[in-house]
Amino acid sequence: MTLLDLQITHKRVVAQGIVSLELRDPQRRPLPAFTAGAHIDVHITPQLTRQYSLCNAPGETDHYLLGVLLEPNSRGGSAAMHQKYAQGDTITVGVPRNNFPLAPARRTLLFAGGIGITPMLSMAEALWAAGDDFGFSYCARSAAHAAFADRLRAAPWAARTRLHLDDGPADQRLQMARLKEEDPASTHLYVCGPKGFIEHVCQAARAHGWPEAHIHVEHFSAVQPADAAALTVRIASTGQAIVIPADQSITTALERQGVCIPVSCEQGICGTCVTRVISGEIEHHDSYFSDAERARGDQMTPCCSRGRGTLVLDL
Protein backbone atom coordinates (compact mmCIF):
# COMPACT_ATOMS: atom_id res chain seq x y z
CA MET A 1 0.00 0.00 0.00
CA THR A 2 1.47 3.34 -1.07
CA LEU A 3 1.12 6.02 1.58
CA LEU A 4 1.90 9.72 1.28
CA ASP A 5 2.85 12.02 4.16
CA LEU A 6 1.39 15.38 3.16
CA GLN A 7 1.35 18.77 4.79
CA ILE A 8 -1.90 20.56 5.61
CA THR A 9 -1.13 23.87 3.94
CA HIS A 10 -4.52 25.48 4.43
CA LYS A 11 -7.47 24.72 6.69
CA ARG A 12 -10.57 26.86 6.85
CA VAL A 13 -14.22 26.71 7.80
CA VAL A 14 -16.26 26.63 4.58
CA ALA A 15 -19.73 26.25 6.14
CA GLN A 16 -21.32 25.51 9.45
CA GLY A 17 -19.74 22.26 10.64
CA ILE A 18 -17.60 21.84 7.50
CA VAL A 19 -13.87 22.50 7.09
CA SER A 20 -11.73 22.28 3.98
CA LEU A 21 -8.17 20.99 4.09
CA GLU A 22 -5.61 21.66 1.38
CA LEU A 23 -2.81 19.07 1.29
CA ARG A 24 0.55 19.41 -0.46
CA ASP A 25 3.76 17.43 -0.65
CA PRO A 26 6.21 18.88 1.93
CA GLN A 27 8.81 19.34 -0.86
CA ARG A 28 6.11 20.56 -3.26
CA ARG A 29 6.60 17.59 -5.55
CA PRO A 30 3.64 16.71 -7.80
CA LEU A 31 1.05 14.41 -6.26
CA PRO A 32 -0.40 11.32 -7.98
CA ALA A 33 -3.03 12.42 -10.49
CA PHE A 34 -6.71 11.68 -9.92
CA THR A 35 -9.92 11.59 -11.91
CA ALA A 36 -13.24 13.23 -11.08
CA GLY A 37 -15.09 11.39 -8.31
CA ALA A 38 -11.92 9.97 -6.73
CA HIS A 39 -11.28 9.81 -2.99
CA ILE A 40 -8.29 9.29 -0.74
CA ASP A 41 -8.01 7.24 2.44
CA VAL A 42 -6.87 9.37 5.37
CA HIS A 43 -4.99 7.23 7.91
CA ILE A 44 -5.96 8.91 11.16
CA THR A 45 -4.59 6.16 13.40
CA PRO A 46 -3.36 2.64 12.56
CA GLN A 47 -6.89 1.43 13.39
CA LEU A 48 -8.88 4.27 11.86
CA THR A 49 -9.07 5.15 8.18
CA ARG A 50 -11.62 7.45 6.64
CA GLN A 51 -12.40 8.19 2.99
CA TYR A 52 -12.80 11.73 1.68
CA SER A 53 -13.56 12.83 -1.86
CA LEU A 54 -11.09 15.07 -3.65
CA CYS A 55 -12.92 18.26 -4.51
CA ASN A 56 -10.36 20.20 -6.47
CA ALA A 57 -10.14 20.02 -10.25
CA PRO A 58 -8.73 16.79 -11.72
CA GLY A 59 -5.47 17.74 -13.36
CA GLU A 60 -4.34 19.76 -10.36
CA THR A 61 -1.45 17.74 -8.98
CA ASP A 62 0.09 20.45 -6.82
CA HIS A 63 -2.48 19.86 -4.07
CA TYR A 64 -5.48 17.86 -2.92
CA LEU A 65 -8.55 19.57 -1.46
CA LEU A 66 -10.93 17.86 0.99
CA GLY A 67 -14.19 18.97 2.57
CA VAL A 68 -15.08 17.33 5.90
CA LEU A 69 -18.37 17.50 7.78
CA LEU A 70 -18.21 17.12 11.56
CA GLU A 71 -20.53 14.17 12.08
CA PRO A 72 -22.58 14.40 15.28
CA ASN A 73 -22.04 10.69 15.90
CA SER A 74 -18.41 10.69 14.77
CA ARG A 75 -16.55 7.54 15.72
CA GLY A 76 -13.33 9.55 15.65
CA GLY A 77 -12.83 10.28 11.96
CA SER A 78 -14.47 13.61 11.30
CA ALA A 79 -13.78 14.82 14.86
CA ALA A 80 -10.06 14.23 14.29
CA MET A 81 -10.17 16.06 10.96
CA HIS A 82 -11.85 19.02 12.63
CA GLN A 83 -10.04 19.12 15.96
CA LYS A 84 -6.80 17.09 15.89
CA TYR A 85 -5.26 18.40 12.70
CA ALA A 86 -4.10 22.01 12.32
CA GLN A 87 -2.60 23.94 9.45
CA GLY A 88 1.08 22.91 9.09
CA ASP A 89 0.53 19.38 10.46
CA THR A 90 1.47 16.26 8.54
CA ILE A 91 -1.28 13.85 7.55
CA THR A 92 -0.91 10.34 6.08
CA VAL A 93 -3.07 9.49 3.09
CA GLY A 94 -3.36 6.80 0.44
CA VAL A 95 -3.13 7.43 -3.29
CA PRO A 96 -6.38 8.46 -5.00
CA ARG A 97 -8.87 5.75 -5.92
CA ASN A 98 -12.07 6.15 -7.85
CA ASN A 99 -15.27 4.18 -7.12
CA PHE A 100 -17.43 6.93 -8.62
CA PRO A 101 -16.08 7.72 -12.08
CA LEU A 102 -17.87 9.74 -14.73
CA ALA A 103 -19.23 7.74 -17.65
CA PRO A 104 -19.24 9.23 -21.16
CA ALA A 105 -22.68 10.75 -21.78
CA ARG A 106 -24.40 13.29 -24.00
CA ARG A 107 -25.55 15.09 -20.84
CA THR A 108 -24.78 14.69 -17.13
CA LEU A 109 -26.84 15.73 -14.10
CA LEU A 110 -25.12 16.16 -10.73
CA PHE A 111 -27.16 16.11 -7.50
CA ALA A 112 -25.38 16.99 -4.25
CA GLY A 113 -26.92 17.06 -0.79
CA GLY A 114 -24.92 18.68 2.01
CA ILE A 115 -21.37 17.35 2.23
CA GLY A 116 -22.15 15.28 -0.89
CA ILE A 117 -21.01 18.31 -2.83
CA THR A 118 -17.35 17.27 -2.57
CA PRO A 119 -17.08 14.72 -5.42
CA MET A 120 -19.50 16.81 -7.50
CA LEU A 121 -17.14 19.78 -7.48
CA SER A 122 -14.38 17.80 -9.18
CA MET A 123 -16.96 16.32 -11.58
CA ALA A 124 -18.25 19.78 -12.53
CA GLU A 125 -14.67 20.95 -13.12
CA ALA A 126 -13.94 17.92 -15.32
CA LEU A 127 -17.16 18.23 -17.34
CA TRP A 128 -16.57 21.94 -17.90
CA ALA A 129 -12.94 21.37 -18.93
CA ALA A 130 -14.09 18.70 -21.43
CA GLY A 131 -16.78 20.99 -22.86
CA ASP A 132 -19.51 18.54 -21.86
CA ASP A 133 -23.14 19.42 -21.21
CA PHE A 134 -24.15 19.19 -17.55
CA GLY A 135 -26.42 20.55 -14.82
CA PHE A 136 -25.59 20.74 -11.12
CA SER A 137 -28.14 20.88 -8.28
CA TYR A 138 -26.82 21.50 -4.77
CA CYS A 139 -29.14 21.19 -1.76
CA ALA A 140 -28.23 22.51 1.68
CA ARG A 141 -30.14 23.17 4.89
CA SER A 142 -29.43 26.91 4.77
CA ALA A 143 -26.97 29.39 3.26
CA ALA A 144 -24.78 28.93 6.36
CA HIS A 145 -24.62 25.16 5.69
CA ALA A 146 -23.78 25.51 1.97
CA ALA A 147 -20.09 24.62 1.68
CA PHE A 148 -17.97 26.05 -1.14
CA ALA A 149 -20.80 28.43 -2.13
CA ASP A 150 -18.21 31.13 -2.93
CA ARG A 151 -16.45 28.75 -5.30
CA LEU A 152 -19.74 27.85 -6.99
CA ARG A 153 -20.57 31.51 -7.54
CA ALA A 154 -17.11 32.29 -8.97
CA ALA A 155 -16.78 29.18 -11.17
CA PRO A 156 -16.89 29.59 -14.95
CA TRP A 157 -19.67 26.99 -14.83
CA ALA A 158 -21.72 28.96 -12.26
CA ALA A 159 -24.60 29.26 -14.74
CA ARG A 160 -24.93 25.43 -14.74
CA THR A 161 -25.55 25.32 -10.98
CA ARG A 162 -28.67 25.73 -8.87
CA LEU A 163 -28.47 26.14 -5.11
CA HIS A 164 -31.54 24.86 -3.22
CA LEU A 165 -31.91 25.85 0.42
CA ASP A 166 -34.27 23.97 2.74
CA ASP A 167 -35.15 27.21 4.55
CA GLY A 168 -35.55 29.25 1.35
CA PRO A 169 -38.67 30.12 -0.63
CA ALA A 170 -40.62 27.22 -2.12
CA ASP A 171 -39.85 28.26 -5.71
CA GLN A 172 -36.10 27.58 -5.30
CA ARG A 173 -36.45 24.07 -3.78
CA LEU A 174 -35.26 21.04 -5.71
CA GLN A 175 -38.01 20.02 -8.13
CA MET A 176 -37.38 16.47 -9.26
CA ALA A 177 -40.41 16.78 -11.56
CA ARG A 178 -38.08 18.74 -13.84
CA LEU A 179 -36.53 15.42 -14.81
CA LYS A 180 -39.39 15.08 -17.30
CA GLU A 181 -37.57 17.68 -19.41
CA GLU A 182 -34.51 15.39 -19.65
CA ASP A 183 -33.76 12.38 -21.83
CA PRO A 184 -32.98 9.33 -19.61
CA ALA A 185 -31.56 7.38 -22.55
CA SER A 186 -28.70 9.82 -23.11
CA THR A 187 -28.29 11.43 -19.70
CA HIS A 188 -26.33 10.04 -16.76
CA LEU A 189 -27.27 11.10 -13.25
CA TYR A 190 -24.90 11.22 -10.24
CA VAL A 191 -25.98 11.65 -6.64
CA CYS A 192 -24.09 12.00 -3.37
CA GLY A 193 -25.31 13.08 0.06
CA PRO A 194 -27.33 11.85 3.03
CA LYS A 195 -29.15 8.52 2.62
CA GLY A 196 -32.63 10.12 2.43
CA PHE A 197 -31.48 12.56 -0.24
CA ILE A 198 -29.94 9.78 -2.32
CA GLU A 199 -33.14 7.73 -2.10
CA HIS A 200 -35.27 10.75 -3.04
CA VAL A 201 -33.22 11.47 -6.15
CA CYS A 202 -32.92 7.82 -7.21
CA GLN A 203 -36.65 7.16 -6.78
CA ALA A 204 -37.50 10.21 -8.87
CA ALA A 205 -35.04 9.16 -11.56
CA ARG A 206 -36.50 5.65 -11.72
CA ALA A 207 -40.03 7.07 -11.83
CA HIS A 208 -38.98 9.19 -14.82
CA GLY A 209 -37.66 6.15 -16.67
CA TRP A 210 -33.96 6.29 -15.89
CA PRO A 211 -32.20 2.96 -16.48
CA GLU A 212 -30.21 1.75 -13.47
CA ALA A 213 -27.02 1.89 -15.53
CA HIS A 214 -27.46 5.67 -15.86
CA ILE A 215 -27.90 6.25 -12.09
CA HIS A 216 -24.61 6.56 -10.18
CA VAL A 217 -24.49 6.79 -6.41
CA GLU A 218 -21.61 7.58 -4.06
CA HIS A 219 -21.97 6.00 -0.62
CA PHE A 220 -19.50 6.93 2.07
CA SER A 221 -21.22 4.81 4.63
CA ALA A 222 -22.17 1.20 4.39
CA VAL A 223 -25.64 0.64 3.02
CA GLN A 224 -27.43 -1.48 5.60
CA PRO A 225 -30.79 -2.85 4.53
CA ALA A 226 -33.70 -1.63 6.63
CA ASP A 227 -34.94 -5.23 6.81
CA ALA A 228 -31.66 -6.76 8.04
CA ALA A 229 -32.25 -10.12 9.70
CA ALA A 230 -30.29 -12.08 12.26
CA LEU A 231 -27.94 -14.72 10.88
CA THR A 232 -25.49 -17.28 12.20
CA VAL A 233 -21.76 -17.29 11.58
CA ARG A 234 -19.81 -20.51 12.06
CA ILE A 235 -16.05 -20.26 12.66
CA ALA A 236 -14.49 -22.95 10.46
CA SER A 237 -11.42 -23.63 12.64
CA THR A 238 -13.34 -24.19 15.89
CA GLY A 239 -16.89 -24.98 14.82
CA GLN A 240 -18.17 -22.22 17.11
CA ALA A 241 -21.57 -20.85 15.98
CA ILE A 242 -22.30 -17.20 16.77
CA VAL A 243 -25.67 -15.53 16.26
CA ILE A 244 -25.39 -12.07 14.66
CA PRO A 245 -28.32 -9.89 15.79
CA ALA A 246 -30.10 -7.81 13.15
CA ASP A 247 -28.76 -4.56 14.60
CA GLN A 248 -25.09 -5.57 14.80
CA SER A 249 -22.44 -6.01 12.16
CA ILE A 250 -20.74 -9.39 11.91
CA THR A 251 -17.41 -7.91 13.07
CA THR A 252 -19.02 -6.32 16.14
CA ALA A 253 -20.91 -9.45 17.13
CA LEU A 254 -17.83 -11.67 16.63
CA GLU A 255 -15.61 -9.30 18.62
CA ARG A 256 -18.04 -9.55 21.54
CA GLN A 257 -17.46 -13.30 21.47
CA GLY A 258 -13.68 -12.87 21.38
CA VAL A 259 -13.25 -13.40 17.61
CA CYS A 260 -11.47 -10.31 16.26
CA ILE A 261 -11.35 -9.40 12.58
CA PRO A 262 -9.20 -6.29 11.89
CA VAL A 263 -11.28 -3.35 10.68
CA SER A 264 -10.51 0.14 9.52
CA CYS A 265 -13.22 2.03 7.61
CA GLU A 266 -16.13 -0.17 8.85
CA GLN A 267 -17.97 1.03 5.75
CA GLY A 268 -17.13 -1.62 3.17
CA ILE A 269 -14.67 0.62 1.36
CA CYS A 270 -11.09 -0.18 2.41
CA GLY A 271 -10.97 -3.99 2.28
CA THR A 272 -9.16 -4.40 5.63
CA CYS A 273 -11.74 -6.88 6.95
CA VAL A 274 -12.05 -9.04 3.82
CA THR A 275 -12.70 -12.62 4.93
CA ARG A 276 -12.97 -15.83 2.96
CA VAL A 277 -16.38 -17.48 3.00
CA ILE A 278 -16.42 -21.28 2.85
CA SER A 279 -20.17 -21.66 2.47
CA GLY A 280 -23.41 -19.71 2.79
CA GLU A 281 -25.29 -17.02 0.93
CA ILE A 282 -23.63 -13.60 1.22
CA GLU A 283 -25.49 -10.27 1.07
CA HIS A 284 -22.87 -7.78 -0.07
CA HIS A 285 -23.29 -4.19 1.15
CA ASP A 286 -19.76 -2.97 0.39
CA SER A 287 -18.38 -0.82 -2.36
CA TYR A 288 -15.04 -2.66 -2.36
CA PHE A 289 -15.60 -5.72 -4.57
CA SER A 290 -16.25 -5.75 -8.29
CA ASP A 291 -19.40 -7.43 -9.59
CA ALA A 292 -17.27 -10.36 -10.76
CA GLU A 293 -15.72 -10.79 -7.30
CA ARG A 294 -19.16 -10.70 -5.69
CA ALA A 295 -20.50 -13.27 -8.13
CA ARG A 296 -17.81 -15.75 -6.99
CA GLY A 297 -19.41 -15.70 -3.53
CA ASP A 298 -16.22 -16.74 -1.72
CA GLN A 299 -15.28 -13.58 0.21
CA MET A 300 -16.99 -10.70 1.99
CA THR A 301 -16.47 -7.55 4.05
CA PRO A 302 -18.01 -8.56 7.41
CA CYS A 303 -17.83 -4.98 8.73
CA CYS A 304 -21.00 -4.20 6.76
CA SER A 305 -22.06 -7.18 4.62
CA ARG A 306 -24.38 -9.85 5.91
CA GLY A 307 -25.80 -13.17 4.80
CA ARG A 308 -28.83 -15.43 4.90
CA GLY A 309 -29.08 -18.36 7.28
CA THR A 310 -25.60 -19.56 8.18
CA LEU A 311 -22.27 -18.34 6.83
CA VAL A 312 -19.14 -20.43 7.43
CA LEU A 313 -16.13 -18.12 7.61
CA ASP A 314 -12.53 -19.19 7.10
CA LEU A 315 -11.37 -18.01 10.55
- Identified binder of ligand FES from the candidate list 268, 289, 300, 312, rule CB under 6 A: 268
- Taking the complex as a whole, the smallest distance from the CB of residue 303 to ligand FES amounts, in Å, to 3
CA distance 229 to 72: 27
Triad 71, 34, 64: Cα angle to 5°: 50
Q: From residue 90, give the alpha-carbon distance in Å to each of 32, 76, 232, 236.
A: 17, 18, 43, 42
Chain CA centroid to CA 33, Å? 19
Q: Are 109 and 190 in contact, with CB atoms under 8 Å apart? A: yes
DSSP state for residue 215 in the 8-state scheme: E
Residue 263 within binding range of ligand FES, rule CB under 6 A = yes
Residue 254 within binding range of ligand FES, rule CB under 6 A = no
Task: Rank residues 16 and 99 by Cβ distance to ligand FES and give the closer one.
Answer: 99
Residue type (1 letter), 26? P
- Taking the complex as a whole, the smallest distance from the CB of residue 249 to ligand FES amounts, in Å, to 9
Residue 310 within binding range of ligand FES, rule CB under 6 A = no
Q: Strand pairing partners for 229? A: none
CA distance 174 to 170: 9
- Identified binder of ligand FES from the candidate list 265, 282, 300, 311, rule CB under 6 A: 265
- Taking the complex as a whole, the smallest distance from the CB of residue 302 to ligand FES amounts, in Å, to 7
Triad 223, 226, 232: Cα angle to 5°: 85
- Identified binder of ligand FES from the candidate list 51, 53, 78, 264, rule CB under 6 A: 264
- Taking the complex as a whole, the smallest distance from the CB of residue 167 to ligand FES amounts, in Å, to 36
Stretch that binds ligand FES, among 89-97, 192-200, 224-232, 262-270 (CB under 6 A): 262-270
Which chain residues interact with ligand FES by CB under 6 A? 263-266, 268-273, 286, 288, 301, 303
